Structures are given as structure tokens and as C-alpha cells.
């Protein structure tokens, strides 16, 4: 565990570090909307300049016509550990503009909260990591570990070119551990660290039974695509909600008892959960069951169902087409390709459905026994004054598997955001205090890593 | 059967009757769109004037704020039979205007075809009936039967006020038989007469599981309304497509063997049917099965299914709401109220669905043994030179049950339209020849009715 003294000194440095807010202001004021392409080049250059200013060696890369991917490196003086950082400089579009109380592309402060597009996702984290590097060098006079930093510009549109880039540059990206973006602060002030993400298979099913909708007086002799789709959907789960695709659960990794113990330490307040979801019913009896389901269970979710007439009043047609969008979230060690094959086989029994695959993302989980994860528990406790919640994986999905492809374990330890951060929404915000703590925690983590030594981590 | 001479003289009169096309022109050029209210008063007055011109006593009636309902009467000199006519002067909106090749509110003629909004549904029939009255009076010097004529202005929006009007005026609407609107000419030139219509229960089902859509990372603990709806829909039919609502088929009237014989005389060409429906599959093996299903079977049809995200690409949400529109077409003697009760009971087992009832329409069928129906077979053969197809009922639905409520049997013998008439669509059209034949046939029918005598029809 880092000493109280180290943490205090890091914190003192960070709070005096005017560069942190000045970087954040510049980043927020430079639009970089990957959905429209606005300002991506400019933002990539700005981030590269900031990295060079701190002493990183910086190069920019493109795969096909993708947004620039920034690759930066800084070496420790004495041979030691190498940490990989992952971030993205692109942001979501600011719409709807009318719902912003401030200019989304200006840094605004009010009562210790900072507002602006990208401040929580992911520009705050870039600025905090730059501050962490400054703080640790100020404290130790040198960088205690080598750092490789990948910052892409397409995360908000599906990290389209990241995998090619990572596989092509596997050698130079090799590292002992990866600090992924994200992490957050729970309502009771504890940091939430996440050791992985769920995977996802996102598909669209379509069935077409005629060219164009028909007068429903012909219903007695027409196949109804909405009905065929409903029968298919109904067949996907049993009465307890278990997915009935063949071998769906076969590859699900059983958590070890030590992992279950970590999970059980997390407190979920069902009443808060129900309120925040505004759900009339939850399919979990209590917080323990909710937590297990959210973290450990794969799902097969209908995201959209569309067929025939959906306007007001009466229209009597037999639809020609039915469409369903479905996100199937996967847990380790499920493979979206196997799940897709199983879905294809299952669907064949219900009609002539077309299956369009929109995306595939592999689940990913780093062992809590990983020495860097163990370290983070200690640094978390030292910096936040409370034991962090160690989540085996988020409920959500991200491209973390791309890093795991080259054998680098990853975790999310940044904790920039909180429940009300409004990621992707108007009035995106973080707390100035959380920003400082994120910088301090990442500096403390780098400091601790340097003390693991240069042999194989145990 | 009317004599060849009678038919020839009626035909000669009708073809020389310039008033027929002049009336039709005036009617088409007077917009009367019940969906928007445009021109309803003006059209009601125009029709009333035409009726008065022919010698009818005319009054206009309103129920609540409904469009004027025209009630016209003309008495035969010697006491005899009374025939009720039903028509409507309102039309569907002309949109999309860009798809019309002519002005929808102008009568256009080209190669023996007449074009204009309402020409097939139902202004052509009003003009033809006026011509039939003129022709029969010209032929016989007097009206052979008494006529009561109801012409409403809300048929295209569900005949909202017709039932109240009919029940209130039951005494003055009493008649031996009702000539409903409609009927058509089949591809092989035979007239199609319809002795009834299907009923309909149109409902909207909704289930809501939360306030607003939620990020689908919470799917493991959220109820999914699209899935609940799919399970309900899948439960509504068995594998052979039979509706599983309790007692759904209990009240279905078994056709007599004489009725089945009539049905079997109708030829359905499966290849034409498949082509006209542009359907990839039909759920009937051959024309005989298709005909039986279309005429005799009730259906439970999904007209629309809507839930969650339906746009392009990926959105990962668990929807808050799922909605289904459903038309359940009924055959004699099913009762939409009983079917609704059965649906309510069934639905209870699948979740908390709201059921909104959009409309209820009773099925209706006149016996082919009815003496006026028998007459129509003879007049049909005499006028069209071929035995008419006698349909026990249409596949579609209409408010004919309202007339049956006051004990008047009805049938559709007008035959203004053909397969390509494009009712409710751009370029609505009829053949001039079919218009003439409809007038001749209705005059021949009135002539024959007068010879049934004034005692109870046998």
C-alpha cells in the first residue's frame, strides 16, 4: 500500500496543478464528434501536443480511413514494468442542444462540478492521466514505470479500426497491465473498479412474407410475419427466463469462490436501483440476486420490434415484414461466433429469417488474483479511504477484448464519473474532487507498480 | 327471370341516359372527405337535390355532431314490396396526390374507364341507382316497389353515427330487403354478389414495464415488454394456426350443404391470387381451401407490433413499452363482445396488458334461400349473361349488421367495381360498361321484386 505521506504529497501536487484544468478546458473546447467527423484531426493534434509537452514520444496512425490513433511512449530510466493506457479523444454529438444549461463545448464550473461534452467520457480521464504522470515525476523525480498510451478517436462509433491497429502493432503495445478508461464512484463514495466487460452480439432479424402490406381480409391465407417473429422470440427463453439457444450457457465461466466473495462485498440497494430504473418490476428478489445477475449472467434482450401499422387508430393490414433488434450480452468465456451459429440453427426451425450481424464484441475479465488488481485494491483504499468495490466485470460492453487479444490484462480504475454524470447526454459532468482523486489514484498506482519489481509479477 | 326484352330495353335506356354521367361528374367534382370534414354538407345537399329531382321525399338527419344522414322515400302507386338502399356520399382522402394521373376531383374518361376519387366507392353506385330508378319508371311508367334510401357521410371513418340513426328510425326503415353498396365483377366477367360481411373486433394491446427505455446493460433484472408481448402473441394460436382463445369457435355457424354448394361453384385461381397478393407463401393448398378459409374462417391478425428502437444500426435498450394492433375478423354467429371477454381472460395469464377497443362490428349473413337472393341470381344471369358467384359473405367487414339489427336482410348486388378499381388508393376507377350494367341490374332486380307480390315472400 502507498504510504499516507505519498498519497498526501500526490494530492497536494494535483490540487495545485493548474495544467490539469487548463488541459481539460482546451480539450472540451475542441469539438471532436466521431459521429460527424467534426474536429477529430484537430483534437488528435492537440492531444499529441499535450503528450509531447510531457515528454512522450508520439506518433499518429490510421487504419484505412479511420480517425487518427495516437500512440505515445515514455520509458522509465531503469528497466521495469510497462503499463498500457487506453483512452479515446472522440465524444458523442452534443444534441439535443436545447437541454444543455451551459455551452457543451465550453468548460463550465459550478459548486465544485465541471460541465462539458466529453468531460466524463473521456477527456477528463486523459487530462487526469497527464496530471498523474506529472505528479509521479514530481514526487519521484523520474517515471517509475514505462508507459505506452493508445488514444483512439472512434470509440463512440464502435472502435471500428482499433482491432486492426492493435493486432498490427501487437509488439509495441505489449505491457504488463492495461489501465482501461472508466471506473466510477458509487453513491456511498467508494471507488468502483471493473476487471472486465461483457461481450455482445448485436443482430437484426427480419422476416418478409410478401411484397408490401396487404388488406387483412386476406389474413386467412397469408402468413403473418409479426406472428412468426413473436413465435421465434417466445421460443428463445424458458419460463424462468433462461435462454434456450443450444449450448448458450456451455462456455460460461464459473466464478471462483474468491471471486464470489469479492462480488458479495458489493452492496446493491434494491430500492435505489428500482427508483433509478423507474421499473415497475425487477426480476431479482434482492440486491444479492440483482448483483449476480447483472455481473455474471449473459442476456438475450429485445431492443426493438417493428412490424406493420403503428400509427394512431385503425388500419387493417397483414404486414409484409417484421424486424427485431436484439442485443445478446455475453460473459466470459462465451464466444459471439458460437452464439451466432447457435442462433442461426435455432431460427431455422421458425421460418425464413434473415440475420444481419451489426456487431460482435468478446467478453473480457481479468483475474482478481492478478497482482496489479491486488495492488489497485490497496491504492484504492489508500487514496479513497475506503475499500474499493471490485467488480468482476461491468454490466456493459466495450472493446477491452482487443487488448486482451495481445495478452495484456486490463482493468478500469479511473473513477472519473458518478451516477449523475450523464454520459452521452446533455449536461455531462464530473466532480472536481473526483477528477483530482482519479489523478492521485493513478499516480499512486504507478508508484506501487514500480515497487512490484522487474521480475515476473507474482 | 326478367325477360330478354326487359333487359334490352333497360339497357337501351341506361346507355342513352346522359343524366347518369352528368350526376357522376357533379358528385366526383364535389369533394366530400369524411376524414377531414371537407365538403360533407355540400355533398349531402347535392345528393338530396338529385333525389328530390327524381321525386324522392328527402330529409336530412344528424346524430350528435355527425355528418348529415340523408333519408329519402319514394312510394309505389299500388301497395307492394319495400326495398331499402344503403350508400354513402363520403370518400377517402385523395393522398398521395402525386400518384394520381388525373385530378382526383374531376371525372376523367379514357378507353372506356372512368377515373376520380369516390367513383368506385361509392359515388358511382349512387349515380347508378338513380339511373336504375329512372330506367324502371321509364320502362313501367311507375315505380314497381317502394324505396327507402339511406345515404350516410361517415362510412369511411367507421359509420360512427349510423347505428344510433337506424335504431332511432327503425320503423321508417323497415323493408323487405336491403340493397347494400358494393359487389364487384370478377376477372372472368361474372358478377360477384355478397350476402354478408365479416365482423371485426379491433383492439390495441399495450404493456409498459418501466417509465422510459433503459440501457440494456440492466436487461438481466428488467422485464422486457417486447418479449412479454411476443409470448402473448405466440400463445394466441396453435401450430395449425387455430385461434386458442377459449370458445373462439363455439358460435361459428356451420354452413348448410346448400350454402357449401354455392361456395364450391366459385372458382379461385391460386396462381392469380398469389400474384395479386405478391405473397411468398399462402396457407391454403388450393383454391377450394383458400375460398373456404377466406369466406368461412374467423381470423386473429396482427396488424402492427411496435416496441423499442426501430431505427438504423445499433441501440442497446430494454424498451419500456410494447404495443400490438390486432384485427379479429368474425363470422356468423360470433359476437365481438364475447370474443373480447375471452381475449381479456386469456391475456391475464401473460402479464399486465391494457386492452383498448377501437371498434366492434358484428358479422352478418343473409340466407341464400331468401327469395330476393334467389331473384338476384336470376336477374344476375339475365343481365350479365352468366351465373353470378354467390358469396355467403365478403372476406372484409362493413356495417351491414346495423341494418340486420332492425330485421332487414341485405345483400350486395351492385357490381360497380373490379379487381383493379383501386378503392381508397390513387387512380380510383371503374369501367363505364360496369357502371351501365350495375344500373341495368338494379332496375331489373326492382322489376322482378315487384312480381314477388305483396304477401309474405316465400
Per residue in B366-412, pLDDT (tens digit) is 999 999 999 999 999 999 999 999 999 999 999 999 999 999 999 99
Spell B92-124 as b/e; 16+ CB within 10 A means b: bbbeeeeebebebbebbeeeebbbbbbbbbbbb
Same domain, B232 and B346: yes
Q: Which residue of A has its CA nearest to B299?
A: A220
Q: Is residue A290 included in any domain, yes or no?
A: no
How does DSSP classify residue A155?
G
Reply yes or no on whether the pLDDT at A113 is more than 70: yes
Reply yes or no on whether the pLDDT at A201 is more than 50: yes
- Which whole-number Å values give the CA distances from B260 to A316, B331, B411, B450, in the listed order? 28, 15, 18, 29
Looking at residue B80, what is its pLDDT?
86
Looking at residue B158, what is its pLDDT?
85
Looking at residue A453, what is its pLDDT?
56
Are A216 and B277 an interchain contact pair (Cβ–Cβ within 8 Å)? Answer: no
Are B395 and A217 an interchain contact pair (Cβ–Cβ within 8 Å)? Answer: yes
Q: Is residue A292 included in any domain, yes or no?
A: no
Set of chain B residues whose Cβ sits within 8 Å of the Cβ of A233: 226-227, 230-231, 234
Reply yes or no on whether the pLDDT at A455 is more than 70: no
Are A319 and B303 an interchain contact pair (Cβ–Cβ within 8 Å)? Answer: yes
Same domain, B123 and B49: yes
Are A218 and B307 an interchain contact pair (Cβ–Cβ within 8 Å)? Answer: no
User: Rounded to 5 degrees, what angle do the CA atoms B6, B12, B18 make?
Assistant: 135
Same domain, A18 and A161: yes
CB A277 within 8 A of CB B214: yes
Are B217 and A294 an interchain contact pair (Cβ–Cβ within 8 Å)? Answer: yes
What grid cell was written down for A192?
A: 468502483
- The minimal CB distance from B299 to the residues A219, A279, A299 is found for A219
Same domain, B218 and B108: no
Reply yes or no on whether the pLDDT at B457 is more than 50: no
Set of chain B residues whose Cβ sits within 8 Å of the Cβ of A397: 217, 316
- Does residue A416 have a cis peptide bond before it, meaning omega lies within 30 degrees of 0? no
Q: Which of B361, B382, B400 represents a domain boundary (last residue)?
A: B361
**Percentage of chain A exceeding pLDDT 90:** 88
The candidate with the shortest Cα–Cα distance to A233, out of A223, A219, A244, A222, is: A244
Reply yes or no on whether the pLDDT at A314 is more than 90: no
Are B325 and A306 an interchain contact pair (Cβ–Cβ within 8 Å)? Answer: no
Residue for grid cell 341470381: B377
Are B303 and A308 an interchain contact pair (Cβ–Cβ within 8 Å)? Answer: yes
Looking at residue A458, what is its pLDDT?
39
Q: Which residue of B has its CA nearest to A323?
A: B310
Average pLDDT over residues A255-268: 94
What is the C-alpha to C-alpha distance for residues B161 and A290, in angstroms, rounded to an integer? 54
Chain A contact probe: residue of B222, B230, B291 with most A CBs at under 10 A: B230
Contact residues for B25 (Cβ-Cβ < 8 A; gap 6+): B107
Q: Which of B361, B384, B409 represents a domain boundary (last residue)?
A: B361
Set of chain B residues whose Cβ sits within 8 Å of the Cβ of A304: 226, 307-310, 315, 317, 319
- The minimal CB distance from B234 to the residues A209, A230, A277 is found for A230
Looking at residue A187, what is its pLDDT?
85
Smallest Cα distance from B32 to chain A, Å: 21
Q: Is residue B275 included in any domain, yes or no?
A: no
Smallest Cα distance from A148 to chain B, Å: 31
Same domain, B119 and B193: yes
User: Rounded to 5 degrees, what angle do the CA atoms A394, A397, A400 make?
Assistant: 90
Chain A contact probe: residue of B216, B278, B285, B330 with most A CBs at under 10 A: B216
Average pLDDT over residues B58-80: 94
Smallest Cα distance from A125 to chain B, Å: 23
Looking at residue B102, what is its pLDDT?
96
Reply yes or no on whether the pLDDT at A454 is more than 70: no
What is the C-alpha to C-alpha distance for residues A299 and A249, in angstroms, rounded to an integer? 10
What is the C-alpha to C-alpha distance for residues B436 and B432, in angstroms, rounded to an integer? 6
What grid cell was written down for A249?
A: 450457457
* pLDDT: which is higher, B42 or B456: B42
Q: Which residue of B has its CA nearest to A324?
A: B310
Q: Is A38 exposed, middle or buried (0-12, 13-18, 19+ CB in 10 A)?
A: middle
CB A358 within 8 A of CB A158: no
Same domain, A97 and A186: yes
> Residue A360 pairs with which residues in a beta bridge?
A201
Smallest Cα distance from A412 to chain B, Å: 17
Are A217 and B394 an interchain contact pair (Cβ–Cβ within 8 Å)? Answer: yes
- The minimal CB distance from A210 to the residues B224, B278, B301 is found for B278
What is the C-alpha to C-alpha distance for residues B106 and B389, in angstroms, rounded to an integer? 33
Smallest Cα distance from B113 to chain A, Å: 24
Query: DSSP 3-state assignment of A146?
Result: strand
What grid cell was written down for A327?
A: 442485443
Chain A contact probe: residue of B205, B221, B286 with most A CBs at under 10 A: B221
* Number of Cβ within a 10 Å radius of residue B433: 12
Quick one: CA dihedral B252, B234, B327, A212, positive or negative? negative
State how many domains chain B has.
Answer: 2
What grid cell was written down for B90?
A: 363520403
Q: Is residue B183 included in any domain, yes or no?
A: yes
What is the C-alpha to C-alpha distance for residues A428 and A118, in angstroms, rounded to an integer? 7
Reply yes or no on whether the pLDDT at A452 is more than 80: no
Same domain, A212 and A108: no
Are A283 and B222 an interchain contact pair (Cβ–Cβ within 8 Å)? Answer: yes
Q: Is residue A288 included in any domain, yes or no?
A: no
Are B329 and A216 an interchain contact pair (Cβ–Cβ within 8 Å)? Answer: yes
Smallest Cα distance from B296 to chain A, Å: 9
Provide the pLDDT confidence category of residue B2 given band limits of 50, 70 and 90: confident
The whole-chain average pLDDT of chain B stands at 94
Same domain, A349 and A327: yes
**Percentage of chain A exceeding pLDDT 70:** 99
How does DSSP classify residue A141?
S
- The minimal CB distance from A283 to the residues B221, B229, B315 is found for B221
Chain B contact probe: residue of A158, A219, A397, A423 with most B CBs at under 10 A: A219
Mutual orientation of helices B225-235 and A225-235 as an angle, nearest 10°?
110
Query: DSSP 3-state assignment of A41?
Result: helix
Are B226 and A304 an interchain contact pair (Cβ–Cβ within 8 Å)? Answer: yes
CB B384 within 8 A of CB B193: no
What is the C-alpha to C-alpha distance for residues B170 and B162, in angstroms, rounded to an integer? 12
The candidate with the shortest Cα–Cα distance to A210, out of B186, B177, B283, B46, is: B283
User: Rounded to 5 degrees, what angle do the CA atoms B126, B132, B133 make?
Assistant: 95
Helical ranges in B285-388 per DSSP H: 287-296, 336-348, 371-384
Expressed as residue numbers, the domain containing B120 is: 4-197+364-450
What is the C-alpha to C-alpha distance for residues B75 and B78, in angstroms, rounded to an integer? 9
Are B277 and A226 an interchain contact pair (Cβ–Cβ within 8 Å)? Answer: no
Set of chain A residues whose Cβ sits within 8 Å of the Cβ of B323: 310
Set of chain B residues whose Cβ sits within 8 Å of the Cβ of A423: none
What is the C-alpha to C-alpha distance for residues A19 and A82, in angstroms, rounded to an integer? 25
Are B218 and A323 an interchain contact pair (Cβ–Cβ within 8 Å)? Answer: no
Set of chain B residues whose Cβ sits within 8 Å of the Cβ of A217: 198, 294, 329, 394-397
Dihedral of the alpha carbons of B34, B37, B38, B40, in degrees to the nearest 10? 70
Same domain, A27 and A123: yes
Reply yes or no on whether the pLDDT at B221 is more than 70: yes
What does the pLDDT look like over B410-454, one tens digit per residue? 999 999 999 889 888 899 999 999 999 999 999 999 999 987 754
In this structure, what CATH number is given to the domain that contains residue B418? Answer: 3.40.630.10
Smallest Cα distance from B150 to chain A, Å: 25
Same domain, A74 and A148: yes
What is the C-alpha to C-alpha distance for residues B407 and B167, in angstroms, rounded to an integer? 11
Provide the pLDDT confidence category of residue A10 given band limits of 50, 70 and 90: very high
Which range, of B111-115, B117-121, B139-143, averages the lowest pLDDT? B139-143
Are B233 and A226 an interchain contact pair (Cβ–Cβ within 8 Å)? Answer: yes
> Residue B38 pairs with which residues in a beta bridge?
B33
The candidate with the shortest Cα–Cα distance to B222, out of B237, B211, B233, B235, is: B211
In this structure, what CATH number is given to the domain that contains residue A223? Answer: 3.30.70.360
Looking at residue B458, what is its pLDDT?
40
Average pLDDT over residues A65-76: 96
Are B279 and A305 an interchain contact pair (Cβ–Cβ within 8 Å)? Answer: no
Set of chain B residues whose Cβ sits within 8 Å of the Cβ of A318: 301, 303
CB A127 within 8 A of CB A47: no
Mutual orientation of helices B270-277 and B287-296 as an angle, nearest 10°?
60
The candidate with the shortest Cα–Cα distance to B19, out of B144, B138, B141, B120, is: B138
Quick one: CA dihedral B280, B286, B289, B290, positive or negative? positive
B238-243 contact pairs (CB < 8 A, 24+): B241/B283, B243/B298, B243/B299, B243/B300
Same domain, A116 and A178: yes
- The minimal CB distance from B281 to the residues A200, A219, A223 is found for A223
Looking at residue A457, what is its pLDDT?
45
Set of chain A residues whose Cβ sits within 8 Å of the Cβ of B274: none
Q: Is residue B286 included in any domain, yes or no?
A: no
Q: How many CB pairs under 8 A join A and B?
A: 247
Q: Which residue of B has its CA nearest to A199?
A: B217
> Residue B418 pairs with which residues in a beta bridge?
B185
Are B209 and A280 an interchain contact pair (Cβ–Cβ within 8 Å)? Answer: yes
Q: Is residue B262 included in any domain, yes or no?
A: no
- The minimal CB distance from B309 to the residues A223, A304, A314 is found for A304
Q: Is residue B267 included in any domain, yes or no?
A: no
The candidate with the shortest Cα–Cα distance to B66, out of B50, B88, B95, B98, is: B88
Q: Which of B325, B342, B361 represents a domain boundary (last residue)?
A: B361
Provide the pLDDT confidence category of residue B355 given band limits of 50, 70 and 90: very high
Same domain, B127 and B26: yes
- The minimal CB distance from B294 to the residues A221, A229, A282 is found for A221
Are B158 and A314 an interchain contact pair (Cβ–Cβ within 8 Å)? Answer: yes
- The minimal CB distance from B283 to the residues A222, A230, A273 is found for A222
What does the pLDDT look like over B27-49, one tens digit per residue? 999 999 999 999 999 999 999 99
- Does residue A122 have a cis peptide bond before it, meaning omega lies within 30 degrees of 0? yes
- Which whole-number Å values give the CA distances from A33 to A90, A91, A130, A202, B101, in the listed order? 6, 5, 22, 23, 47
The whole-chain average pLDDT of chain A stands at 94
Looking at residue A157, what is its pLDDT?
87
Amino acid at each position: 500500500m502507498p504510504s499516507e505521506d505519498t498519497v498526501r504529497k500526490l494530492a497536494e501536487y494535483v490540487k495545485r496543478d493548474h495544467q490539469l484544468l487548463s488541459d481539460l478546458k482546451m480539450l472540451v473546447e475542441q469539438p471532436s464528434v466521431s459521429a460527424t467527423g467534426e474536429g477529430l484531426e484537430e483534437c488528435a493534434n492537440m492531444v499529441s501536443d499535450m503528450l509531447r509537452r510531457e515528454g512522450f514520444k508520439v506518433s499518429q496512425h490510421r487504419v484505412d480511413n479511420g480517425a487518427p490513433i495516437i500512440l505515445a511512449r515514455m520509458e522509465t530510466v531503469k528497466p521495469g514494468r510497462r503499463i498500457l493506457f487506453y483512452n479515446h479523444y472522440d465524444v458523442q454529438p452534443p444534441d439535443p442542444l436545447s437541454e444543455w444549461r451551459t455551452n457543451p463545448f465550453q468548460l463550465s464550473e459550478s459548486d465544485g462540478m465541471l460541465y462539458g461534452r466529453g468531460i466524463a467520457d473521456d477527456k477528463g480521464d486523459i487530462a487526469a492521466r497527464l496530471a498523474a504522470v506529472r505528479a509521479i515525476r514530481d514526487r519521484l523525480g523520474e517515471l517509475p514505470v514505462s508507459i505506452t498510451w493508445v488514444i483512439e478517436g472512434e470509440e463512440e462509433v464502435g472502435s471500428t479500426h482499433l482491432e486492426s491497429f492493435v493486432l498490427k502493432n501487437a509488439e509495441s503495445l505489449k505491457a504488463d497491465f492495461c489501465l482501461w478508461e472508466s471506473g466510477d464512484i458509487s453513491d456511498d463514495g467508494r471507488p468502483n473498479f471493473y476487471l472486465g466487460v461483457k461481450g455482445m452480439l448485436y443482430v437484426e432479424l427480419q422476416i418478409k412474407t410478401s411484397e408490401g402490406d396487404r388488406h387483412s381480409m386476406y389474413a386467412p391465407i397469408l402468413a403473418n410475419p409479426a406472428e412468426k417473429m413473436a413465435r421465434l422470440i417466445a421460443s428463445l427463453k424458458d419460463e424462468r427466463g433462461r435462454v434456450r439457444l443450444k449450448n448458450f450457457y456451455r462456455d460460461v465461466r464459473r466464478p471462483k469462490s474468491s471471486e464470489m466473495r469479492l462480488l458479495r462485498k458489493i452492496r446493491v440497494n434494491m430500492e435505489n436501483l428500482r427508483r433509478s430504473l423507474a421499473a415497475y418490476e425487477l426480476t431479482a428478489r434482492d440486491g444479492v440476486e440483482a448483483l449476480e445477475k447483472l455481473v455474471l449472467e449473459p442476456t438475450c434482450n429485445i431492443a426493438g420490434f417493428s412490424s406493420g401499422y403503428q400509427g394512431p387508430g385503425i388500419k387493417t393490414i397483414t404486414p409484409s415484414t417484421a424486424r427485431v433488434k436484439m442485443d445478446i450480452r455475453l460473459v466470459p468465456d462465451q464466444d459471439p461466433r458460437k452464439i451466432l451459429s447457435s442462433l442461426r440453427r435455432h431460427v431455422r426451425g421458425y421460418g425464413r429469417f434473415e440475420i444481419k450481424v451489426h456487431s460482435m464484441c468478446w467478453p473480457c475479465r481479468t483475474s482478481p488474483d492478478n497482482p496489479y488488481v491486488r495492488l489497485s485494491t490497496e491504492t484504492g483504499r489508500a487514496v479513497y479511504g475506503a475499500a474499493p468495490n471490485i467488480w468482476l466485470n461491468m454490466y456493459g460492453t466495450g472493446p477491452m477484448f482487443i487488448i486482451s487479444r495481445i495478452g495484456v490484462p486490463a482493468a478500469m480504475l479511473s473513477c472519473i464519473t458518478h451516477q449523475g454524470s450523464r454520459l452521452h447526454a446533455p449536461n455531462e459532468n464530473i466532480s472536481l474532487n473526483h477528477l483530482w482523486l482519479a489523478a492521485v489514484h493513478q499516480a499512486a498506482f504507478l508508484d506501487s507498480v514500480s515497487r512490484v519489481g522487474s521480475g515476473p509479477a507474482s
